Structure 1
Amino acid sequence: MKRIIIAGGGTGGHIFPAIAIANALKQQAPDTEILFIGAQGKMEMEKVPQAGYAIQGLDIAGFNRSSLIKNISLPYKLVKSFYQVRKIVNAFQPDAAVGVGGYSSFPVLRYAQSKGIPTFIHESNSFAGKSNILLGKNATEIFVASAGMEKFFPADKLLVTGNPVRKAIIQSAMARDEAIRFFGLDPNKTTVLVVGGSLGARSINEVVASHVTDLLSLDLQMIWQTGKNGADGYKERGKPFPNIWVDAFITEMDKAYAAADLVVSRAGAMSVAELCVAGKPVIFVPYPHAAEDHQTVNAKYLVNKEAAMLVKDEEVRVKLFSTIVQLAKDKQKQHELHERISQLAVTNADEVIATEILKHLK
C-alpha cells in the first residue's frame, strides 16, 4: 500500500485537477491511501471531502496586494504552517507528495523534499508560478500542460501531459435538451453559459447584470455562474427573469457544458482544458492581473488557431455583449469554433500523471 499526499488548492483550477489525479491513482492502485493538504477557509476544505477524500488544513495565506495591513500576520502564518506540515507529514509517512499549486503546496513539498520523499509538481499554466519554480529544482518529475516550459524547469524532469479534466466532463453523454431542462430553461432558445471562475469575474458579471433585460427581447437565455464575490447581488438581479438561471457556483459543470450553445469564460488553464474537451464555442475574457498575463497567453493559443474568440478585459463594457449576441446568432461560426476547439482536447492527462507517479514508487 502506498501513501500519497496531494497539496494545494485555493481555486477550482487547482482543486479539480487534484481530485482527478487522486481518482486516477485510486483507479490504478486501489489500495493507495491519499491525504489532501489545503489552506483553512479555502474551497478545497469543502470540495475535497465531497469527493470522498480526507483533507488537513493549514493556517496559511498568500500575499494580499489590495490591503497591505492584512499581510502583518503573514510571516507568523508561514512559520506556523511549516510546523503543521511537519506534524502532518511525520504522522502520515507518505511515499510521495504531489503539488498542484496554491498556498499550501509550497511548505508541504519543501518539507517532503527535505525528508527525501519523492515530490511531483503539476503546473497547469503556460507561465510557471514562483513556488513551483523553486520546488522544481529538487522535484522528482514535473508535469506540464504544454511544451516550452524548459525556461522554468530542468528539461530532464519535464513531461508534457496536458491538464487533468474531471471525468464527468470527459464522459458526459447528456443530451442538450435534457441538460437545459435540468436548469429549468427552454430547449428551443439559444443558451449562453457565463462562468467567471469559482471566485467570480466582476467585469463579466457587471456587463451581464446590465443586460439581463435585453436577453428576453433577443430570444436568448443564460446559465450564469457568478462566482463567490458579490454573488448575492447578482442573484437578486438575475432571478426575476425566467430565461436566466443564476447561482454562485455550478456543481455539475458537465450539465452546464452540455446545455450551452456558447460560453463566456475567463482563460485559466483548467477552464481552457475543460472547454476543449466539451468542444464549446467560447469567448474568452482573460483575467488581466494573472501572473505574466498568462490567461491572455492561454486564450491567444486558441484564438491563433481560430478555435476561440477573445475580448480584452478593458474592452468588456464596450464589446462583450455585442460579441455574445453576434456569436449567438451565427450558427455557422459556432460550428466552426466547435470543430476547431474539439481538436485540441486532451482526455487522459490524469491517467498519464498517475502512471508516472506510481512508476517512481515501485
Structure 2
Amino acid sequence: MKTVFISGGGTGGHYYPALAVAEAFKEKGYKVVYIGTTVGIEAKKGFPAADNTYLFEMKAVRGKSFLGKIEGILSLIKTTFKVIKLIKKENPSFSICFGGYTSFPLGVASFLTRKDLYIHEQNSIPSYTNRVLSIFAKKVFITFDYSKKFFNNKKTYHVGLPLRKSIIEMAKTYTYKPKDRKTVLIFGGSQGSKKLSEIAIEMAKSMPDKDFILIKGKWDLNVPNLPNLTVYDYCDKIEELYEVADVVVSRSGSGTVNEVLAFGKYAIFIPYPYAASNHQYYNVKWL
C-alpha cells in the first residue's frame, strides 16, 4: 500500500482542501498520514480521512513579537525533526502541503529526506510558507490563476480548489426552488466574525419578512430570540445551509468563495481587512 503524507490545518481554509484531497487518496487505496497542530481546527475535529494523525505543538511566526518569532521558529524546527522520524518510519511515496505555518515542518522534512513534495495554494496571494516550500516542490498547484506570478511558471498548474465530496455531490444536484420568504446566510469563515454577526442580528431585527441564518463562530454574543433568526456556533454540513440560502453574506476566504460559486448563489463578499497580504480582497477581485 502506498502512503501519502498530508499537512494543512490551523484554520478551515487550509484544513478542508487538505481533507478533500485526503478523501480522494483514501478512495484510491492510499494510506494517509496527517500532520497538524494541537491548537488548530484539526485538534477539535480530528482528520477523518487519515489512517494516522499526528498533532504537534507549533506556533506561528508572522505577526508575532521578536520573542514570539523565536519561539515560533524553534517550535517549527523541533517539529521538523519529529516529522523526519515519521517519514523514515512510514516511507511515504510523496508529501502534499496546503500552506500555513503548520505545513512548514512536513515540507522541509520531505526535502531533507528526498521525498517528492507537492504544494497547493488556496489563495490568490500565496502564503509565506508556500512561497518558501515552492523552491523545493516538484509541482505547485494553485486555485487562482493570479497566483502564477509568485511561483516558477514551469512547475505551476492552475487546478482550482479541492472541495469536499459532500459539497460537490450536493452542488451537482442542486436546483433553485422559488419560495415566499427569502433566506440570507451570514458567516465569517471557520472562526466566525463578530462584526458580521452583529450586522446579521440587526438585519434580522429590521427585516422580519426575511429569514436569516447566522454562523457566529467563537464569539460570545447577546443574541435576541427572534423568530426569523437561526444561530449556529459552527456547522459541519455547510452545504445544507447553502442549499436553503438565497443570498450569502460572508468573508472571502478561498474555500467560501469556491463553495458559493459551486452552488451558483448570489453573494456579498466582505474581505477580512487584516488577512495576510490582503489576500481575501484578491480572492474576489476577479469576479
User: With structure 2 as the length reference, what TM-score do the two structures score?
Assistant: 0.91
* Structure with the larger helix share: 1
| Distance in 2 between residues matched to 1:97 and 1:276, nearest whole Å | 29
Alignment-derived partner of residue 169 in structure 2: 171
Amino acid at match of 1:195: F
| Number of corresponding residues | 284
Q: 1:94 to 1:66 in 2, by over 3 A?
A: closer
- Contact 1:191 1:262 (8 Å CA) reproduced: yes
Structure 1 residue 141 and structure 2 residue 139: aligned?
yes
Alignment match, 1:237: 223
Structure 1 residues 105 and 274: alpha-carbon distance in aligned structure 2, compared to 1, 3 A threshold: same
**Structure 1 residues 178-189: aligned runs within 5 Å:** 188-189=180-181
Q: Percent identity?
A: 33
Tell me: CA distance 1:296–1:75, structure 2 relative to 1, closer, same or farther (3 Å).
closer
Query: Structure 1: which amino acid aligns with 2:4?
Result: I
Are residues 1:283 and 2:268 paired? yes
Whole-angstrom CA distance in 2 between matches of 1:52 and 1:137:
27
Is the alpha carbon distance of 1:23 and 1:300 closer, same or farther for their aligned partners in structure 2, counting shifts above 3 Å? same
Once structures 1 and 2 are overlaid, which stretch shifts more, 120-129 or 43-52?
Answer: 43-52
Distance in 2 (CA, whole Å) between partners of 1:201 and 1:106 is 27
- Kindly tell me: are residues 243 and 210 of structure 1, through their superposed partners in 2, closer, same or farther at Cα, counting changes over 3 Å? closer
Supply the distance in 2 between the matched residues of 1:84 and 1:281 (Cα, whole angstroms): 46
SS in 2 for 1:49: coil
Distance 1:202 1:81, change over 3 A: same
Matches within 5 A, 1:343-362: none
Give distance in 2, aligned partners of 1:283 and 1:241: 23
Letter of the 2:128 counterpart: K
**Residues 14, 75 of structure 1: CA spacing in aligned structure 2 closer, same or farther, 3 A cutoff?**
closer
Q: Which amino acid aligns with 1:213?
A: K
Question: Please, which runs of 5 or more residues in structure 1 have no aligned partner?
Answer: 178-186, 303-362
Give the one of 183, 195, 201 matched to 1:203. Answer: 195
* Alignment correspondent of 1:264: 249
Give unpaired runs (5+ residues) of structure 2: none
Q: Aligned to 1:224, what secondary structure does the other structure show?
A: strand
Shift in CA distance, 51/246, structure 1 to aligned 2, threshold 3 Å = farther
SS in 2 for 1:171: helix
Partner secondary structure for residue 194 of structure 1: strand
The equivalent of 2:280 in structure 1 is 295
| Higher Rg of the two aligned structures | 1
Question: How many Å separate the matches in 2 of 1:60 and 1:246?
Answer: 32
Residue 300 of structure 1: how far off its partner (Å): 1.9
1:262-294 CA distances to partner (integer Å, 9 max, x unpaired)?
Answer: 000111111111111011000000011122212
Structure 1 residue 39: Cα displacement = 0.8
Partner of 1:74: 72
**Other structure's SS at 1:264 match:** strand
Kindly indicate whether the alpha-carbon contact (under 8 Å) linking 1:141 and 1:159 is maintained by their aligned counterparts in 2: yes
- Give runs of aligned pairs for residues 306-317 of structure 1, distance below 5 A: none
Distance 1:149 1:197, change over 3 A: closer
Is the partner of 1:6 in helix, strand or coil? strand
Is 1:226 the counterpart of 2:216? The answer is: yes
Match of 1:151 among 136, 149, 152: 149
Hey, what's the Cα distance between the residues in 2 that align with 1:9 and 1:52? 13
User: Among 70, 85, 94, which residue is 1:87 paired with?
Assistant: 85
Partner of 1:103: 101
Say whether 1:55 aligns with 2:41: no
What is residue 343 of structure 1 aligned with on the other side? none
> Equivalent residue of 1:26, what SS?
helix
User: Displacement of 1:51 after TM fit?
Assistant: 4.6
State the AA in 2 paired with 1:89: I
- Matching residue of 1:321: none
The 1:278/1:53 distance shift into structure 2, 3 A limit, reads: farther
The answer as to 2:3 corresponding to 1:17 is no
AA partner of residue 86 (structure 2): I
Write out per-residue CA displacement over residues 11-48 of structure 1, whole angstroms, 9 at most, x where no aligned residue. Answer: 11111111111112222x22x10011011121113334
Aligned with 2:47: secondary structure? helix
Contact 1:125 1:294 in 2 (8 A): yes
SS of 1:126 mapped into structure 2: coil
Amino acid corresponding to residue 15 of structure 1 in structure 2: Y
Report the CA distance shift for 1:126/1:64 in structure 2 as closer, same or farther (over 3 A). closer
**In structure 2, distance between residues paired with 1:260 and 1:149:** 31
Q: State the superposition RMSD in angstroms.
A: 2.1
Whether the aligned pair in 1 keeps the contact of 2:34 and 2:53 (CA below 8 Å) is yes
Instruction: Kindly state the Cα deviation for residue 248 of structure 1 after the two structures are TM-superposed.
Output: 1.6
TM-score (normalizing by structure 1) = 0.73
Q: Are 2:99 and 2:121, in contact at CA under 8 Å, matched by a contact in 1?
A: yes
How much has 1:75 moved relative to structure 2? 3.7
